[in-house]
Structure 1
Amino acid sequence: LFKSAARLHQIATKRQSRVTKRAKPKKAEDETVRRRSMRLQRVEPSGIPAAEELAQLGAEEYPQVPAGPFPMVPEGEMENSKSAEELLATWMRISELEAGCWLVLLLPSLTKGLTMLCRYQDSLKGMVLSQENIRKVVKYRVCSMAIHPSESLLFVAAGDKTGQIGLWNVTCRSEEGAHVFVPHSFSVTCMKFSPCNPAHLLSLSMESLRCGDVTRAVFDEICRSEENLSSFDFLEDNACSAIVGCWDGGVAVVDRRTPGTSPELSADIGFKRTRTVHVHPVNKQYFVAAGSVDVCVYDVRCLKPGGTRPVSSLKGHTRSVASAYFSPVTGSRVVTVCADDTLR
């Protein structure tokens, strides 16, 4: 019995020895640990502000401009410095010189216009860009610009993507020749000096249309909207009324002489969005509007809130239209800029 048991034990031991087990490799001490993101680990990152904190930081960096009149004081100053006062005084002085002859500037004859064009072409050929004529006027990207009509000196206004407006006296070579004002909360997409009174600078952002009056050192609010305004143009030579384009596809008529900040009329022109509006240089009742793929001419006298039919539709655009403008002298032509890399 003992011999049989020993034999059976020997046979069982041999069978088990034939079964090989894979040995588990020992974990090296210097082996790198696989990294997992904090998002997968569901761990809040330390030292990084949450989304609410980022929004609060953005609001602090770009403060919202309150509604209503806003004082014409440079950014970061409680009152105008001596250099800022000199800049505003220069703007006022050159505007007084131009105000007396604005009718001559606005109503040139065709012959005079062609003569000025030839002189302009000759002057372009001799233009040179020098270092003293380069200046960082605003802090961020420039979205619009306006040039004062003065012939005595070059005075420029530039608007950036955060609502800043920089005024620059190019003739002044010192650093005090430029100052920044913040009358808007969003991108300044359109600016124009008043043709009859260049002491007024009208500027448009998504939330408001303002008039900077240098004689009173204030940015008056003409029209206010909920982040919907895109562009504007004057309907009259005296610049008292304007047509305003809206991002929701409509247009509005604004009159500066009417108290309040509501438009006189809001009309539906059938666009998904209205990027630019431009008034005919001779027949001021007509304006051209550019939208997503639409370019149409309208009569401001026929605008209706429930829908307005265009006087003329300019077809052929296959992609988004950035802008459309009448020719400056007669208005007999319209030029459009389209995303298909084509001017029409």
Structure 2
Amino acid sequence: FAKTCASVEKLCVLYLCVTQGGHAGLSSYELERLENIRQNQAFLSSINLFQTAIEKGVTVRKSLRLQSLTLPPKPGERQLYRLVKPPGPLLMKPVNMEDEAKLPSQLLELFSELDLKEYCSALKNMTKTENRVAKVLKKRLVTAAFHPCTSSLLMATGNTLGNVALWKLDSDWGNDGVLRFEPHALAVACIAFSRAHPTHLLSLSRDGSLRCMDVQKAVFDDVYDSEEQLRTFDFLSHDCTSLVVGHFNGKVAIVDRRTPGNSHESIHSLKYTHSLLCVSVHPLQKQYFAVAENKYVNIYDSRYLKKKKKSKTVSRLHGYSLSIHSAYFSPRTGNRVLTSCNDGYIRIYDTSAVTKKAPLLTSIKHKMQTASYKIKVSAVWDPKREDCFVVGSTPKPHSVKVFHESGKLLHSFVDRDNVTSELYVTALHPTRNALLGGNGSGQLHVFSD
């Protein structure tokens, strides 16, 4: 641009020389050209094109604080609003169906199909060999459980004499890899490993005692003693320090292991005074527990139990004509309750919402009674799943059956050569593919991969 302006100035000087000194031999075309240049120069000068632009310097910013000046007020913050759904679970209601319409029954089956195929494949790989059976105790086994360790299969069981045994598969402990103890005077009715303290094994007996085998201290600690017969217990807190203990006469005791002594924090009467056969605590909402009370299955809230009056139920499972000997919340969510009744049916209820009357989902015909009227067969959940359970089968050939919550039979564990009596005590490992079954002669049989 500067070069252009200089050229224009030279031409203007030349024009002035021509106009002042004559044509100097220029043609009419050149004179016309010079006139045009002069007019352009006059126009450019009129708009100040040849003036140099003023350069703006960098603005010096000074701190208001250093100048002792008051800060200006902050601009008002804009309130941002967004549309959200209400918190908590939302019902699956298709917007393109009528309000009362239910989800298609095949929907859950399709969602679970692949998962069930893998599960069934794992069940088929679980077999039994000669070294997977042991005479762990004398007399009839009543209860059994797997320790959660995965490096080896470690099992605990209790019998009608008040004995407790530990059996580690493929070990040389004691006789046949079994360690036997005598912590109780009467039958061991319930046994469970502490999920928070894996060195603790709790056992409850009908002699009125609840003890804790502490392997680290090598003692059976006295947790709770009662003059009444005890029937069952479950952990009422995630750290397994609080327990709900069921008395045979229909009462429940709240026991806190952190409190010195071996008494209860409180004892409560339930709605019915019938014998109490089973207690199961909700896995997530620990304030709720289900109770099998003779011909009734009720759900209570431990926060509202009465000491002098009969406690009110928050939900009831209907449909029984004979006594129920077990009722268990599903292990992961508590959205189902699995019951076993003397009327020959296994029932599954929907407890995803705590309502006055829990809806019945499935009924499965299954023989619950054995050759002895004292022995009851109970269905128990697979702790690895939310929708499958196992139960001993009394008709020959004796077996343990695995069912889906829909009522579909998934697998049967059979060993015609070694299993010659009913395996009415059953349990599954919490993480490994392993199943145990106990019989009336004190034997444990193990199926594993």
Normalising by the residue count of structure 2, what TM-score does the alignment of the two structures yield?
A: 0.50
SS of 2:161's equivalent in the other structure is coil
How many Å apart are 1:293 and its aligned residue? 0.3
In structure 2, relative to structure 1, the CA distance for the partners of 1:259 and 1:149 (3 Å cut) is same
Q: What's the counterpart of residue 246 of structure 1?
A: 247
- In 2, Cα distance between the equivalents of 1:172 and 1:249? 41
Is the CA contact (8 Å cut-off) linking 1:250 and 1:270 kept in structure 2?
Answer: no
How many Å apart are 1:187 and its aligned residue? 0.8
Is the CA contact (8 Å cut-off) linking 2:228 and 2:247 kept in structure 1?
Answer: no
Q: What's the counterpart of residue 216 of structure 2?
A: 215
Unaligned runs of 5+ in 1: 1-112
Percentage identity across paired residues of the two chains: 44
For residue 144 of structure 1, what is the amino acid of its counterpart? T
- In 1, Cα distance between the equivalents of 2:181 and 2:219? 11
- In 1, Cα distance between the equivalents of 2:238 and 2:297? 24
Is the CA contact (8 Å cut-off) linking 1:137 and 1:166 kept in structure 2?
Answer: yes
For residue 203 of structure 2, what is the amino acid of its counterpart? S
- In 1, Cα distance between the equivalents of 2:287 and 2:114? 28
- In 2, Cα distance between the equivalents of 1:149 and 1:131? 23
- In 1, Cα distance between the equivalents of 2:236 and 2:119? 27
Is the CA contact (8 Å cut-off) linking 1:204 and 1:210 kept in structure 2?
Answer: yes
For residue 181 of structure 1, what is the amino acid of its counterpart? F
Is the CA contact (8 Å cut-off) linking 2:142 and 2:160 kept in structure 1?
Answer: yes
For residue 307 of structure 1, what is the amino acid of its counterpart? K
Q: What's the counterpart of residue 127 of structure 2?
A: 128
How many Å apart are 1:270 and its aligned residue? 2.3
Q: What's the counterpart of residue 66 of structure 2?
A: none
Q: Please give the residue correspondences for 1:162-241 in structure 2 after superposition, counting only pairs within 5 Å.
A: 162-172=161-171, 175=175, 177-206=177-206, 207-241=208-242
For residue 314 of structure 2, what is the amino acid of its counterpart? V
**Is 1:342 aligned with 2:345?**
yes
- After superposition, the C-alpha distances for 1:83-108 in whole angstroms (9 at most, x for unaligned) are xxxxxxxxxxxxxxxxxxxxxxxxxx
Is the CA contact (8 Å cut-off) linking 2:134 and 2:176 kept in structure 1?
Answer: no
For residue 126 of structure 1, what is the amino acid of its counterpart? N
Is the CA contact (8 Å cut-off) linking 1:144 and 1:160 kept in structure 2?
Answer: yes
How many Å apart are 1:297 and its aligned residue? 0.4
Count residues with an aligned counterpart. Answer: 232
How many Å apart are 1:117 and its aligned residue? 7.4
Is the CA contact (8 Å cut-off) linking 1:234 and 1:243 kept in structure 2?
Answer: yes
Unaligned runs of 5+ in 2: 1-111, 348-449
1:298 corresponds, among 297, 300, 324, to: 300
- In 1, Cα distance between the equivalents of 2:126 and 2:315? 39
Q: Please give the residue correspondences for 1:107-122 in structure 2 after superposition, counting only pairs within 5 Å.
A: 120-122=119-121
Normalising by the residue count of structure 1, what TM-score does the alignment of the two structures yield?
A: 0.64
- In 2, Cα distance between the equivalents of 1:197 and 1:238? 8
Question: CA RMSD of the aligned region, Å?
Answer: 1.9
- In 2, Cα distance between the equivalents of 1:116 and 1:194? 29
- After superposition, the C-alpha distances for 1:139-189 in whole angstroms (9 at most, x for unaligned) are 111000011000110001110001000111113167352111000111111
**Is 1:329 aligned with 2:343?**
no
In structure 2, relative to structure 1, the CA distance for the partners of 1:116 and 1:158 (3 Å cut) is farther
How many Å apart are 1:123 and its aligned residue? 2.2
Is the CA contact (8 Å cut-off) linking 1:146 and 1:191 kept in structure 2?
Answer: yes
Is the CA contact (8 Å cut-off) linking 1:277 and 1:290 kept in structure 2?
Answer: yes
Q: After the TM superposition, which segments of 4 or more aligned residues of structure 1 sit over 2 Å from their partners?
A: 113-123, 173-176
2:320 corresponds, among 317, 320, 323, to: 317
Q: What's the counterpart of residue 256 of structure 2?
A: 255
Is the CA contact (8 Å cut-off) linking 2:131 and 2:170 kept in structure 1?
Answer: no
- In 2, Cα distance between the equivalents of 1:276 and 1:298? 13
Pick the structure with more helix per residue. Answer: 1
Is the CA contact (8 Å cut-off) linking 1:132 and 1:173 kept in structure 2?
Answer: no
How many Å apart are 1:257 and its aligned residue? 0.5
Pick the structure with more strand per residue. Answer: 2
- In 2, Cα distance between the equivalents of 1:153 and 1:130? 16
SS of 1:190's equivalent in the other structure is strand
- In 2, Cα distance between the equivalents of 1:143 and 1:168? 15
How many Å apart are 1:287 and its aligned residue? 0.4
SS of 1:275's equivalent in the other structure is strand
Structure number, greater radius of gyration: 2
How many Å apart are 1:247 and its aligned residue? 0.7
